[in-house]
Structure 1
């Protein structure tokens, strides 16, 4: 039998998470850019999922994966099991996804092709091409924003799917490379830095890193639960509850975070 939360909308479950008294809080930040957070709750995640993208939309949690038989699915937050809606041909290595205007946009890694699906039927509507690798993708309500593993973020027109702006991301030490999974959060771009435990907060007007999450504690916790756990990857934001969901490749858990000011 599934637990009762299986039948609750994601918003309600997240609001319950906000009210939990037991939580793990990070120590006060020493780095001026380091953001503190509280782990409000944890959800199951399929430890076989090589996660590439994570998105909350209309009370549902969507996930995309890479490697062979890359898929897009809707995740049961009790079991972590995905209801797979799209499975790519093995010729394609799936990457990030985002949802805008009732469409799902999916990148592939080195094939230089992206796919667009109808949100409700998951029927493939069209394809689009780009000149770089495809890594992460999000949107600001006007443009799609994609990463390619460099320090560059490209803003794409939603009609032509061509770049209209390129943003170079920097911190106090210079260019910030290996920008990967993306999420647009309250006017800023959150980006996972590939093969690190860090997520950076980027000002889209300047490209400057204005905040940083160090999730080393969560990476260690995931590794203890599943020795096969790989790197941090997967960011989703729920604007109503202001909670951030993070996970990683082959992680057995999704961590629900409250960012502390």
Structure 2
């Protein structure tokens, strides 16, 4: 799900780690389109690529980091609700929420290339240089062949032996899978071999700094610039995108 009533939100049990979270420092902030219901994010060659959700409002965008200006966009037509995106070679792969429908686009201009099907829901995407990595709102993470887009294996994400669900937007960072947890301010750092959560990063302060007050304006966007070791964080309808430095 991507929208809940306030009653259901309050009924969700947020995750409370039994140890201190991974420390981080704010480096700088950038403008972010507050109308963007962010569902996917990655950084490539100086620009951000972002997908937005909601039926009739879903888009894939190329965005200038420093200004937040949309440089290029592709509308995802109804009835689809846009979700996670990832780059692979000269392509961009995107998911939709509940239709089991994925799309492949040319990375250069977002021209349609092909489509594909998957079971269950589509939430977040990333890649590790060998496989595409997908979340579906459960405690499962799927690994896909990047060419055929067929599922190859799964892991179950756990904290202290207990499954952790609501895994949302994903990013691959230095050998770990980082995942937003829907309706939580914590990012899980996941071991991709075992699914065990290594530690947490709490970005509650960033949500506050973005001026996010609506219950739907949750943290949901992680991008990593491997060349300069920069991490970018944003959320749904946030007015800012943040660069942080994580102490590991």
TM-score normalised by length of structure 2? 0.89
- Residue 65 of structure 2, aligned match among 77, 87, 95: 77
For the pair 1:63 / 2:50, whether they are aligned, the reply is yes
For the pair 1:47 / 2:34, whether they are aligned, the reply is yes
Partner of 2:157: 169
After superposition, the C-alpha distances for 1:82-121 in whole angstroms (9 at most, x for unaligned) are 2342111121100010101111000000010000011113
Partner of 1:241: 228
3-state DSSP class of the match of 1:104? strand
Partner of 2:186: 198
3-state DSSP class of the match of 2:210? helix
Q: How does 1:87-98 map to 2 (within 5 A)?
A: 87-98=75-86
Partner of 2:96: 108
Partner of 2:239: 252
TM-score normalised by length of structure 1? 0.84
Partner Cα separation in structure 1 for residue 112 and residue 169 of structure 2: 22
Partner of 2:139: 151
- Structure 1 gaps of 5+ residues are 1-29
Report deviation, 1:125.
Answer: 0.5
- Structure 2 gaps of 5+ residues are 1-16
Partner Cα separation in structure 1 for residue 206 and residue 161 of structure 2: 26
Change (3 A) 1:250 1:59: same
Partner Cα separation in structure 2 for residue 137 and residue 227 of structure 1: 26
Given that 1:75 and 1:81 are in contact with CA atoms closer than 8 Å, whether structure 2 keeps it comes out as yes
* Structure having the higher Rg: 1
Partner Cα separation in structure 2 for residue 33 and residue 152 of structure 1: 25
After superposition, the C-alpha distances for 1:187-218 in whole angstroms (9 at most, x for unaligned) are 11000001100101000111100011011111
Given that 1:71 and 1:84 are in contact with CA atoms closer than 8 Å, whether structure 2 keeps it comes out as no
Report deviation, 1:78.
Answer: 3.4
Relative to structure 2, which stretch is displaced further, 167-176 or 74-83?
Answer: 74-83
Higher helix share: 1
Change (3 A) 1:238 1:109: same
Aligned residues: 230
After superposition, the C-alpha distances for 1:164-203 in whole angstroms (9 at most, x for unaligned) are 1011000115001000000011111000001100101000
